[in-house]
Amino acid sequence: MNESQLREKILDVVCENGVDRQSILASQQLAGKIDSLKLLELIEVLEDSISRPIPEEELTEDNFSSVPVILQMANRLAQGAR
Domains of the chain: 3-78 (1.10.1200.10)
Q: Does the reported pTM lie above 0.75?
A: yes
Torsion-angle region of residue 31: left (phi > 0), alpha (psi -120 to 50) or beta? Answer: beta
Predicted pLDDT at 75: 94
Residue range 2-50, pLDDT digits in tens: 889 999 999 899 888 777 788 777 777 787 778 889 899 999 999 999 9
Angle between helices 36-50 and 3-14 (to 10 degrees): 160
